[in-house]
Amino acid sequence: ASGTSEDSNSIYEPQKVAIIGAGPVGALAALYFAKGGWQVTVYELRGDLRNPENRSLNFTKSINLAISERGINGLRTVDPDLTEMILESAIPMNGRMIHDIAGKQSSQRYDVHGRFIRSIDRSYLNGALLDELDQMSNVELKFNHNLKRLSLERSEATFERRLPSGETETIRVNADLFIGADGAHSQTRYHMMKYVRLNFSQEYIDSLWCEFHMPPCSKTGDFQLDPNHLHIWPRQTFMFIALPNQDKSFTCTLFMPEEMFKDIVGPEALLKFFLTEFPDVVPLIGEENLIGDYLKNQKLPLISVKCNPYHYRNKCVIIGDAAHAMVPFYGQGMNCGFEDVRVLWSHISAHSSLTTALESYTSERHKDLHVINDLAMNNYVEMRASVTSTTYLLKKGFQEF
């Protein structure tokens, strides 16, 4: 019997899956389904990120991110060798390094047993997954395909394909299952809402984020800060953070209320702000780079999305940010997306009917995802303020660095 049958007792055969979005979560989902014998096609709005010319197109994403056991488990379950290869390029972060206004640094370990999170280059991680998919005969990657419509009664998706000439053409494709991994502003989710009573909420927080680059030391070529920490400059209502990169630089992010960004107009105001709030950062980044990055880099919003259910019958399911975009303060957005894929696949493997598998996936997953979404929101207060309170430090066994 066919997996797309409405008969919930049917034994289904792997069939055709169309994955919308070739971000980290869509690429990992493609790997699970391809290894499970499905015919997989991935449709991605942008050009191939492995082509340096296309990198600048994805300007809304942080350069590096923290990968934790939750995400690594999602990778390892489908491909242990690939996971080892990817982790070789990740940098362990054993704890937070808190920078106070006088420049004093204090280390707070994440775990008494020595467990840690890792800083990884987002493009490298995403590219490694796409490289793996390229080698599989049952996977096709289609870039420059923008999902425009999704007709789930006809099992048909309509894409606008961008041609090298700049013109576009309309492409219609059929699949047995559609997986929406198309990010916080998911078109798959939007179209699925027409078929299912989907509860949905979204919230923008008042803070924006802006990235800065801290180069390696010009004299030694080494890291300018301890590379095995996630560095935080907490300032109660705003904060600056830095994560290490393989090339011994750090990618830094300023999270701050929009109103404060608006008040910083021009190089002088920016320097004054940094010299007052983060004086130790100025020589590490350099005045010129600081000003250049601030003026050039966008100040981007942060959105939190919750919804339920995540699926429609045996036709469609949404995963990753499409299902649960969260603010980044718990470092769990992508990690949870990787966990979605592992959990989804475990339900698909455990059930003889795809309808039942997707139903049980939604019912197991939504409680956990709503909780982690809230934890991420609460952790903004923890990172920018609570980490400096004496009670908190005593509770956590504060150590001087």
Interface ranges with ligand FAD (CB under 6 A): 20-26, 43-46, 61-62, 65-66, 71, 145-147, 181-183, 187, 209, 253, 320-321, 328, 331-335, 337
Residue 83: φ, ψ to 5°: -60, -45
End-to-end CA separation in angstroms for the chain: 63
Decide whether 181 or 383 has the Cβ nearer to ligand FAD. 181
To ligand FAD, the closest distance from the beta carbon of 320 in angstroms equals 2
Q: What letter does residue 196 receive in the DSSP assignment?
A: S
Decide whether 86 or 353 has the Cβ nearer to ligand FAD. 86
3-state class (DSSP) for residue 306: strand
To ligand FAD, the closest distance from the beta carbon of 23 in angstroms equals 2
Residue 154: φ, ψ to 5°: -100, 0
To ligand FAD, the closest distance from the beta carbon of 376 in angstroms equals 9
Which residues 6+ apart lie within 8 Å of 347 measured at CB? 357, 358, 360, 361, 364
Q: Does residue 390 contact residue 350 with C-beta atoms inside 8 Å? A: no
To ligand FAD, the closest distance from the beta carbon of 74 in angstroms equals 11
To ligand FAD, the closest distance from the beta carbon of 180 in angstroms equals 9
Q: What letter does residue 265 receive in the DSSP assignment?
A: -
Decide whether 227 or 337 has the Cβ nearer to ligand FAD. 337
Distance (Å, rounded) from C-alpha 126 to C-alpha 132?
A: 10
To ligand FAD, the closest distance from the beta carbon of 353 in angstroms equals 26
**How many residues appear in the chain?**
401
Decide whether 45 or 290 has the Cβ nearer to ligand FAD. 45
Decide whether 90 or 225 has the Cβ nearer to ligand FAD. 90
Identify the residue whose tokens are 């802006």.
210
Decide whether 174 or 389 has the Cβ nearer to ligand FAD. 174
Distance (Å, rounded) from C-alpha 172 to C-alpha 152?
A: 13
To ligand FAD, the closest distance from the beta carbon of 177 in angstroms equals 16
CA 323 to chain centre: 12
Cα torsion angle, 108, 111, 113, 114, sign:
negative
Decide whether 251 or 353 has the Cβ nearer to ligand FAD. 251
